[in-house]
Amino acid sequence: MNFEEARFKMVEQQIRPWKVLDPQALAVLSAVPRELFTPPQYQFMAYVDEEIPLPGGHVMLPPRIDARLMHDLALKGTETVLDIGTGSGYRAALLAHRSREVVSLEMDAVMAEAARRHLQAAGVHNVRVVHGDGSTGPVPGAPFDAIVLGGSVAEVPQTLLDQLKVGGRLLAIVGTDPVMQATLFTRTGERQFSSTTLWDTSVPALQNFAQPSRFHF
């Protein structure tokens, strides 16, 4: 399979139509070899606009989702970024090309180790993959310039927002099926936050983050 050709088609046919037009973001997407982050039996799907199964019941998000998350954080290259839900490490690799350092949390120890191998194979050296749970409290290295969640949450916990620097941004896909929205939160002061809804989508939920009650009274 010609992965370079498949990567080019991904950028032109999937990423650009999803309003990722920043030249630097497109350059990153054109350079990062997604096949290195894809399980061998699914490498033929590395550039397909679909979720890809990962061990332990996890999935790689469609490339356009990770592309928009990286793009919409509008990183300048000097930031320290917290990435929650490492998965195979592809999104962390994208973020690494646009930031100074990425701390990437993964609950599954096997997946965390695999992500480290994938990042090394791709020549990405400014990502620190940590086996940990982003829902439980402060992460070593906080506060961060930017935080991105690699799955959906019913709501963003205050404990995560509090790990932003003033002026920092958190991007999360918020809601439950069938209505989820990518939402950008900005810390505007010590106790002040603003939010902007960016686009609609639907992705699997992050583990261990609180879900709304299904019971109605």
CA dihedral 12, 15, 122, 93 (to 10 degrees): 160
Q: What is the pLDDT of residue 216?
A: 43
pTM for the model: 0.94
pLDDT score recorded for residue 39: 97
Looking only at the bridges linking them, the beta strands covering 80-84 and 144-153 are parallel
Residue 73 DSSP label: T
What per-residue confidence (pLDDT) applies to 188? 97
pLDDT given at position 137 = 75
> According to the model, what pLDDT value does residue 215 have?
43
Contacts of 189 (CB under 8 A, 6+ apart): 166
Q: Are 92 and 127 in contact (CB under 8 A)?
A: yes
Please state the φ and ψ torsions of residue 188, each to the nearest 5 degrees: -95, -10
Beta bridge partners of 133: none
The burial class, CB within 10 Å (0-12 / 13-18 / 19+), for 86 is: buried
Q: How many CB atoms lie within 10 A of CB 24?
A: 13
| CA dihedral (79, 198, 84, 26) positive or negative | negative
pLDDT of residue 140: 86
Domains and CATH numbers, the chain: 3-201 (3.40.50.150)
What pLDDT score does 211 carry? 66
What are the pLDDT tens digits along the chain (217 aa)? 899 999 999 999 999 999 999 999 999 999 999 999 999 999 999 999 999 999 988 999 999 999 999 999 999 999 999 999 999 999 999 999 999 999 999 999 999 999 999 999 999 999 999 998 887 778 888 999 999 999 999 999 999 999 999 999 999 999 998 889 999 999 999 999 999 999 999 999 998 786 654 444 3
Quickly list DSSP for 100-150.
SEEEEEES-HHHHHHHHHHHHHTT--SEEEEE--TTSSPPTT-SEEEEEEE
Cβ proximity of 95 and 83 under 8 Å: yes
Tell me what pLDDT residue 217 has. 38
